[in-house]
Structure 1
Amino acid sequence: MKDLGAPAMPDAVVPLAVNDAGVVVGDYLQGNSIENVVFAGPFLYQNGSVQPMPNIFTSFVPFGLNNSGQIAGTEFNSLAERFVNYFYGQAILIPTLGGQPTTLLPIGVQQGVALAISPNGAWVAGASASRDGATVTPTLWRAGIQQALPLLAGFQYAEAASVNDSGTAAGAVFSINYLVDEDPAAVAHAALFNNNAVTDLGLLAGDRSSFAIGINNSGLIVGYSTALVPGSELQLRAYISPADPQSHAFLYANGAIRDLTKLLVNGTGWQLSFAMAINNAGQIVGTGTYQGQQRAFLLTPVAAPQINSVASAGLSVPGITNLSPNGLFTIFGTGFAPASMHRTVVQADLVNDALPTNLANTCVQAGAARWPVTYVSATQVNALAGSMPPSGKMPLSVITNCGMANELATDSFNATMAGEAPEFLYFVQNANGYNPVVAIQAQSGAYVGPANLIPGAVFTPAQPNDVLTVFGVGWGSTDPACNIGKMAPSAATLTGRYSLSIGGIETPILYAGLTPTYAGLYQVNFTVPVGLSPGNQPIVLTVNGVKSPSGGFLTIGP
């Protein structure tokens, strides 16, 4: 968030538009109500400072700014009625700062109001209105030519308050009686104008009216929703009235309208009332209150979390990308948590011996289900796959700030499902995929592997007739069936057909199934066969015809 401040003399500074370079235009004003607004002139925010806009008449209000420095706005000819009834104006296009203004003709013999310009300068948005308030027609100008936009059934009027490079506009549909000072029956809803159709964007919960004021090329829309009855000033209330707790800046994205204050990540003490504009980088300008005083703000979006890949938790090379029920797996990406976060599930996180589905405010969404999470960092999330079909795709997403008002989800990542995806766990993981499996002596728990495998740990090679336990993940269903996400209370044998080979020799299995007191962990117990050559011998588990990766090995002693 960037505080644009407030100048010493006027009561407020109000930003109205921002381009992709972060340049902002707006207006200084004195007074804090519709009846007594006095203007101090338009301003420009550029290169880190706020300054008066050069060579521009003070009766001009710069509602729109594009990437070339073109400005669209309205020159209000009747100062006394500038915002009581905004039908006393001329739509103006200024080609460059300090350039000669051009009047944009309205539809018919009405008054024109220009409220926005597209980033590429191809479109200007606004309205054509009659002075008697009989008509308000949403209007686009392209190359100076007017184009009427449609109205929405159930509403008397409409206006286009913003437009993007494709000519998609956002504004409001409304019904109001202009012959009275206040119309308690007035209604207004934020609206989207696209392909000659109008979409009602709705309201925030508990509010009475809403207005869309900005749209970018991605179709993201900003504005405000309020508990107040709309007045004749319409969305310009955001411009001339002080920020108040009954008005809530909103962001409309992915078909939903959301309260911007609740999306802030560093906004303690702020209440965002009005969002005026959004650029193609997602930056948003508007007004709100901070510690009880009105301030202008500039919001810059935090990079959205992103999934890059998904792999079984053993991290074999090449990796296993299939997910199976009760299979531990890893999600790699960016933005999952703060950079300093390295959070592993601990005993205190368990509820009734079940892994949490929200760890460090991070969740894994799989279709309609939340899957258990065991580890969270900025670039990695470890989770346990839930129930799933034996084939097809499962849409996965990681949700940051999970369960909070500002939660944010990655785009869906389609992972491949399978009935089983057997893999051993490894003491170390080598880039060539040739790895020592996690093996212990079944009775003593002593580590089995090459001597000096890990500094400070004691490893000894296996000998013929040793009874060993080797651990892995993704081995599939068991009998009795496991309660996925809970610590296994006892042994449970694999239901699939399974076999084990070491150094190419078929090896009798004593037990293959779940590891008691763990979730998602499997083990195979066996006796090391006689006749194996000393050295590192490949070990392969096959479940229902699916083999574990060939790079796992067991070290056999002389």
Structure 2
Amino acid sequence: MSFSGQANLSGYDASGVSIKNQVYNSAANRTSADVIVKLGAGVLSMTFTNTKPTATSAVHTGTTNLRLIRPGYAGDSTQVYTNEFLDSLAPFSTIRFMGFTETNNSDPAYPAVTDWSDRHVITDATQQSYGAKHGAAWEYVALLANQTGKDIWINIRASATDDYVRQLATLLHVRLNPALKIYIEHSNEVWNPLFGQNAYNLAATQAEIKKGGSALNRDGANDLNTLAARRHAKRLVEIVNIFKGVYGDEAINDSVRVVYAWWTIFPDQYTAVLNWVKETYGPPSQFFYALAQTHYFNDSHAANNASTAGVLAAMRADSDNGIANTDALHAVAQGFGLKHVVYEGGPDNGGGSTTNVGSRILANRDPGMRDLIEHDVRDNWFGRGGDLYMYFALSGAYSRYGCWGLAEDIMSLNTVKFQAVQDMVGPPPTPIINPGAVLNSASGAAIIAPGSFVSIYGQNFTSLAYGWDWAIPDGKTLPSMVAGARVHINNQDAYVSYASPTQLNVLAPPGTFAGTATVDVITGNGTVSAAATMLPISPAFFTFSYNSYLYLVSVFGDSSEPVYVAADGALVGVKSRPAKSGDRLQLFAEGLGATAMPYPVGQVLTQPYPLADLSQVQVTVDNLPAVVQFAGMTFAGVFQVNIQVPQLARGGDLPVVLTVDGQSTPANVFMNFQK
């Protein structure tokens, strides 16, 4: 743990939480400490006393910039999601964020609304609910999807205004990788009287009817539940049209997939509402991608003293008994030209009863549960023509209120339920690193350097291809995973700048290591390792190819807009011209070694970080020494070297060589000059 300022720290309950190694760094005004949580402690609660945000502040005035990092990660880590959590998502195609964004019971009493300003943002001190803010920031939804390469299923609150929906659509359009799909649901189980969104929808329905002129009762219908069911679908149509205005017509039912979900046990109600949509707005398939149901199987018919085997038998029978209902809903979906999906499914041993709770919990750990889940999903869902199946839930403690999780602890995925999922998705293609294919990204040489970009070539790294811009939610934190792939170099996280099925570009962690480095590519499909030669300094220019030559990337330093050094017209879409004697140029390279002041690891840089000793940097142009005016890291992994071109004896394509501490760039890199 660390924070700005000073405080006396203690565990609120000293028997469960204690503090060790507390240190105050006066130069940085930072306090750091180890927080020890005893195994079995249910709550981490701490006391801060005698607080001071700065050394000169009055006592009892607080602290700022609190960070609490779990074991296994550096204290200055900027990583948002743990590796264990990211890895646990590997088998799945889609993540439903109903709980993450706290959909249930988060609406105010009607007629109050949820405005866009009521949402959490990533700069909030906490993502926990307070006031009108419920659920994590939408930016974190996009980040998780972009890091893992998973489609998203979102739930829009019943009280959300049109502007909220429009702003959400705009945010996702900007922040979510366009290769990923969005499934959209209006709230969650609006039919369910146990949830506040049911009351909100009922009250909104009554208000609309009272106002008059509503399409809800145009046909004379007056049953409130019937009208509320229609309003639920009406709101979905409105949401579709708002997203259409942001994404365009072509995105609907392609990248934007709106889902109509209702009370599973009443197929006739699905039919009635969809017919109403058809008569009021047009074919439902113009608006909705799919019809959704639950697909739980429970132990309600097990004897009160049933053994584990008895509980499993009762649950299997319940799964089989649901086939008729699933078939009926599948027919409804087909009749309206919709896909048929599950919004929640899996074993249901909840309800809160203490009766036979031991056998109910043990049934979820029994090897027989593995077969039962596969039977329910493979035979009684996909075998009946079903499409996407959303399992509820990823993890959670087992109790009399339910054993919902595929795992009880995200740190341990070796469960019978997770094994069932692995059985159904099948063995994934294992990642492969091609022989000798861990290379310096700039030069292509087989020597890499700390704090520099590394390219890894192989197979089966990811299923998508995109860069880290999609996975930087706050404009400053570099991702350790993109599209489901991450890389370790000597057991340290590298930062993934580009991921594709056959190539990974990563920014190596800093350091001064020399020797053979171990490079691990880690994906949900497995881990593969390779060796690479690493030197503390291994300079290389960033280059582009033109007319079979390699030219280094450089710009004129005295231009008000970027003008590249190259022959006129050599670079499509940008301005370029040859350089000449006396010009001031900015050259771009990597692998120049340590900076005088350490740069913030894993972050977008906001200032330059010069090299410690500029005298160790030499640049020659056509074997003539140039004046080196500056050398330092200006972007993460990218060094800028400012030079003044020497007096040249000739023009044309001339070799440029950068030497740092005796290590030189390859001699086959050129720049274009005029005499």
Structure index of larger Rg:
1
Higher strand share: 1
Higher helix share: 2
TM-score normalised to structure 1 length? 0.45
